[in-house]
Structure 1
Amino acid sequence: MDALSEVLREVHLNGGVFLHAQFNDPWCIAVSVTREHCGPMLGPSTHLIPYHFVAEGPIHMQVDGGEAVALRAGEIVLLPRNDLHVMGSDLALPPVRASEVIEPSLSGGLASIRHGGMGRSARMICGFLACDGHPVISALPKSLRLDVERSDGADWIRSTFRYAADEVGAGRPGSEAVLARLSELLFVEAVRRHVESLPADETGWLAGLRDPHVARTLALLHRDCARDWTLDGLGREIGLSRSALADRFTRLIGAPPMHYLAQCRMQLAARKLRGSQASLAEIAESVGYESEAAFSRAFKKAFGAPPATWRRRQG
């Protein structure tokens, strides 16, 4: 059982592509992706994870005042927190806001940027992953880098991604949808590689994925959060005593299993309230509450308002 896959299934990743950018040295832009950039492709999701695929490089990047890095051709960088970032041939140049140089497509296709001087060229395809907020997103660093041409494994994903990006860059229709779906798979691979790179003494949600017992517990809770779980029942499922499970889970995740389950139920309930027309009674049952009243009390405690009031405010 794969805990990360179970959780990311809940996150409801939805990929899209919105920009083809061509630059020539010298250039420097400041990028902040908004819902307006993504347009009708975005849907009801609440969080954006922009990504940039460097088709021709290098391109230098600095995220939210952090350390500058050089991105090579074939690399993709994802920004899980959608932080403001600066990209260019020379980051010491005064950055131009990307929104000031984006050229919307008159035909309804990808927007474009052509910016800079007369020097060496660089090119990138920009897209996004839309999702609901989730602990796995908040636990990620400001940026994730993945070399789609030099990494081991998932070769068919990378070769297809490169082909689709080249097709998009050439202005051929149809490849945007392929690229959007592949970006979801590449995000999962980038998160997996980040988990594998964490220090041995790391704690937190992502570190919990490396512990087989904690990872299995997370998968069970996310796969069926409505089940009437007990600490004893979880321990039997994964082969640990209740005390050993509680200690290990709390040390890595930062909350006891039953508290974590309650949080999962509330997060799922909020997504259902925002994204469906189901009744409060139906949502209460779907997240493990036997009565609407008990569900309403728990929801108000978590979100500061009864579920019906909270739902109206989302509209």
Structure 2
Amino acid sequence: MDVLSDLLQRARAGDSLVRQLIQRPPWSLTFADVPQLTVVATLGGHASIRLDDAHANAGATQVRLAASDIALIRGPGRYTIADSPATPPQVIVQGGRKYRVGGGEEIAGTHRSLAPRTYGDGLPGATTMLRGAYELRGDVGDRLLDLLPRLAVVPGGPRTRPALDLLATEAACDEPGQDAVLSRLLDLVLVLALRAWCARPEATLPAWYRALADPAISDALRRLHDDPAHRWTIAELAAKVGMSRAAFAARFTGLVGQPPLTYLTGWRMTLAADLLHDTEATVASVARTVGYQDAFAFSVAFKRARGIAPSAWRRHARTRAS
């Protein structure tokens, strides 16, 4: 499995949430409970997205979406979607409920149900929006989010529009297997949007992603991700990708920014951190899973990478999450 696919699969903490809004101007929605990653797309009409929090100090804080554009929004922090930047805040969504801005009281019927997962008024001149929310898991999710700024916009194109149309159609259906269909279609939209964003000149990307453009190094990274517990050597990796040991080590280090085995150790520690948080596996079991037969050697490596012993990290991470 290629590296981006591996991260997407490991980072998913559960089924994604997909909703469609069909609303005639003026309208404005502020989302206070922001997941790690939100996908917003405009199918018809246009919309404005604004970051409303202290995390919005880097990069764009407000963008305009034309038809078929896709916005990728990183949490935490709140954001507002409206028909226009000039539209005053109207409704805040928090804890799954809608509240009137300024009044604080909960309001009902702001957006009536038009179809399954589809809300609004559906009148002529309305904007049609799709919103998909992802909950991502741990350190692997952080690696995936490193691809993005707080707010990234991908212009509509011939590859993303058919996927958006199909997602919109399925969002309005309620048939057996619907949640599985929506989850996979949203994944498709996300991957297409990530690809498109990473190809844009303004994208600031981690070295490992840029290295995927090199076939030999991409192959080596895939092998490290496919089997992180294997006792890899530089010589074996070089042979697998058809290069000499010295040439491979130099190219990998130059493109990825660290030597192959240093990258492998970092990836193992990422996996270990999530296993310690998400499972009840013993430290010795986690060590074996990520390629260490000796729990003591694993603990030393983990403390060197994270500054804290595995058992202490587990306690701290769980306390922070509770």
Whole-angstrom distance in 1 between the partners of 2:295 and 2:31: 45
Q: Which residue of 1 aligns with 2:221?
A: 218
Can you give the 5+ residue segments of structure 2 that lack an aligned partner in the other structure?
100-106
In the alignment, which of 135, 146, 159 is matched to residue 138 of structure 1? Answer: 146
Q: Which residue of 2 aligns with 1:17?
A: 17
**SS of the residue 2:315 aligns to:** helix
Is residue 116–residue 171 contact of structure 2 (8 Å, CA) maintained in 1? Answer: no
Q: Which residue of 1 aligns with 2:158?
A: 151
**SS of the residue 2:135 aligns to:** strand
**SS of the residue 2:274 aligns to:** helix
Deviation at 1:311, TM superposition (A): 1.6
Q: What residue identity is the alignment partner of 2:24? A: N
**SS of the residue 1:99 aligns to:** strand
Q: Which moved more, 1:256-265 or 1:21-30?
A: 21-30
Q: What residue identity is the alignment partner of 1:54? A: T
Deviation at 1:113, TM superposition (A): 7.4
In the alignment, which of 305, 309, 313 is matched to residue 312 of structure 2? Answer: 309
Deviation at 1:27, TM superposition (A): 3.6
Alpha-carbon spacing, 1:111–1:164, altered in 2? closer, same or farther (3 Å) = closer
Aligned runs of 1:122-201 on 2, under 5 Å?
122-132=127-137, 133-145=141-153, 150-152=157-159, 155=162, 157-167=163-173, 175-197=178-200
Whole-angstrom distance in 2 between the partners of 1:202 and 1:314: 27
Q: Which residue of 2 aligns with 1:69?
A: 63
Is residue 273–residue 307 contact of structure 1 (8 Å, CA) maintained in 2? Answer: yes
**SS of the residue 1:77 aligns to:** strand
Whole-angstrom distance in 2 between the partners of 1:177 and 1:104: 29
Q: Which residue of 2 aligns with 1:57?
A: 45
1:264 matched to 2:267? The reply is yes
Q: Which residue of 1 aligns with 2:102?
A: none
Is residue 55–residue 73 contact of structure 1 (8 Å, CA) maintained in 2? Answer: yes
Aligned runs of 1:222-233 on 2, under 5 Å?
222-233=225-236
Deviation at 1:202, TM superposition (A): 7.5
Q: Which moved more, 1:96-105 or 1:255-264?
A: 96-105
Offset from partner CA, 1:21-45 (integer Å, 9 cap, x none) = 454323444434436xxxxxxxxxx
Q: Which residue of 1 aligns with 2:297?
A: 294
- Number of aligned residue pairs: give it: 294
Alpha-carbon spacing, 1:212–1:81, altered in 2? closer, same or farther (3 Å) = farther
Q: Which residue of 2 aligns with 1:85?
A: 79
Offset from partner CA, 1:145-164 (integer Å, 9 cap, x none) = 4567x423895x44431211
Q: What residue identity is the alignment partner of 1:164? A: E
**TM-score when scaled to structure 2?**
0.75
Q: Which residue of 2 aligns with 1:38?
A: none
Q: Which residue of 2 aligns with 1:98?
A: 92
**TM-score when scaled to structure 1?**
0.76
Is residue 16–residue 180 contact of structure 1 (8 Å, CA) maintained in 2? Answer: yes
Whole-angstrom distance in 2 between the partners of 1:19 and 1:6: 26
Is residue 135–residue 205 contact of structure 1 (8 Å, CA) maintained in 2? Answer: no
Whole-angstrom distance in 2 between the partners of 1:110 and 1:256: 50
Is residue 71–residue 153 contact of structure 2 (8 Å, CA) maintained in 1? Answer: yes
CA RMSD after TM alignment: 3.7
Q: Which residue of 1 aligns with 2:286?
A: 283
Whole-angstrom distance in 1 between the partners of 2:274 and 2:225: 14
Q: What residue identity is the alignment partner of 2:130? A: I
Q: Which moved more, 1:94-103 or 1:8-17?
A: 94-103
**SS of the residue 1:98 aligns to:** strand
The percent identity for this pair of structures is 29
Deviation at 1:55, TM superposition (A): 4.0
Q: What residue identity is the alignment partner of 2:291? A: G
Q: What residue identity is the alignment partner of 2:150? A: K
